[in-house]
Amino acid sequence: MTENREQDLLENVPDGLFIGGTWRAAEDGATLEVRDPSTGEVLRTIASATPGDAQAAMDATADAFPAWAATPARERGELLRRAFDLLQERAEEFALLMTLEMGKPLKEARGEVTYGGEFLRWFSEEAVRVQGRYGATPEGSGRMIVSQHPVGPCYLITPWNFPLAMATRKIAPALAAGCTVVIKPPQLTPLTTLYFVQLLEEAGLPAGVVNVVTSRSSRAVSEPILADRRLRKLSFTGSTEVGQSLLAQAAPGVLRTSMELGGNAPFVVFEDADLDQAVQGALAAKFRNIGQACTAANRFLVHRSLADEFARRVTEEVAGFGVGRGTEDGVTIGPLIDEDAVEKARTLVSDAVERGANVTTGGSRIDRPGTFFEATVLTDVREGSALLREEIFGPVLAIVPFDTEDEAVRLANDTEYGLVSYVFTKDLARGQRMIERLETGMMGLNVGVVSNAAAPFGGWKMSGLGREGGAEGIHEYLQSKYTLTPNPF
């Protein structure tokens, strides 16, 4: 019965490109295979776009822009609200689809449906709240009108780790603002985006407003789109290295850019922290999505007086995690996305151990079909270890002891990244100091998960530019115009 349910769902997912309101094959008939990371088996074969297909998608989004920009904000918002309602009706389908193609446990996939849906609901409400201003010039010579306008056609590139939420987090504000889009889902997990855009079509999406190109080669489809002078906005979520390359490609067109890039989040536990709260926060911050999140805590900086007890409690919890396919009951740790992810985790753990770290649980690849790596806890991780510099993107929790607040701040800020930080302390003044001293765009104070559709998501330093979500999110897709009129008196 379960296999039939999965197969029925997969057969309902479109396998083509979506361009100008039509599902179609790639112009040369090329395809790509989407695999289940828990087994390595092919889930679905879908179209792989060519540069010509990408150009066709760009043409469609540019042609659709004037009419969509002129569509009343209420109508744009109501389309997003209909999409939200349809998503609630099909929540189980979307959760299962994400589990199949990405590997996350079904419980977490259901959480992503809730989270991803909130961007549809939030921006359906924000669409009608875009405002300008009117006022006299200071010297009284005229009247100033400041109005907001959609920035234009947009190119959205999403990552593989949150297939639904990353699509809704970009598409919803773009549509709410009056922009049209081409979206390129990740090669590893494109099925959820295809299924979601089919849902948008059912909700009444006009032809050309959203176009989807899936491809084995990101560069092949991105280059013609980024070179097109009609494109006005690029939004990317992914690695800093790729983000830097895209910024360079966006420069000739002086594109508006939103870049949500890599992270190296510190998780700081002070000596006065509620240890039970800190342990639960650590498990959420580290092992959510199997550690494959840019917001995942990377470096656990624990006051020396608590380090041993913190490690003992965390190890006890982690050692009891269920491992398996995300559809199975009791699973906390599903597969990593591919072989490269497994090898990266293995290499980082080996490097830390060679430098003096201790493995209290896990530390190895799991010998079974699929790409599984044990949930791992390391203690006494030494400065200079690669996993303190690089984004782990796997289920590895690394503990570093510290002695003073200043040392904790130094260690936390000792990275080129600045996406999110986590701090556990009962001291209100210390918490306030951390808000001001830690160099991150977001912070969880006594909480292990910070993401919320109503909040501005984004980082400092090499972690990116711009914000997604919150009141700030829609402004990434708007541009201001100032008009001066004579004094009417």
Catalytic residue ranges: 260, 294
Residues 6+ apart with CB under 8 A from 66: none
CA-CA distance, 348 to 227, in Å (whole number)?
A: 38
Which helix (DSSP H) or strand (DSSP E) does residue 184 occupy? strand 181-184
In the block, residue with structure tokens 């701040």: 409
Distance between CA atoms of 227 and 213, rounded to whole angstroms?
A: 16
Backbone angles phi, psi at 171, to 5 degrees: -65, -45
What SS3 string covers 102-163? Answer: HCCCHHHHHHHHHHHHHHHHHHHHHHHHCCCEEEECCCCCEEEEEEEEECCCEEEECCCCCC
Q: Show the tokens assigned to 388.
A: 């303190």
CB atoms inside a 10 Å sphere around CB 486 = 8
Report the distance separating Cα 292 and Cα 287, nearest Å: 8
d(CA 458, CA 467): 5
The residues, any chain, with a CB within 8 Å of residue 324's CB and separated by 6 or more, are 38, 330, 331, 333, 334
Quote the crossing angle between the two packed helices 106-126 and 165-177, to the nearest 10°: 10
Beta-carbon contacts of residue 188 (< 8 Å; ≥ 6 apart): 34, 101, 102, 160, 337, 338
481 φ, ψ (degrees, to nearest 5)? -125, 130
List, in sequence order, every beta strand (DSSP E) within 185-238: 210-212, 233-237
Would the CA dihedral through 52, 57, 60, 62 be positive or negative? negative
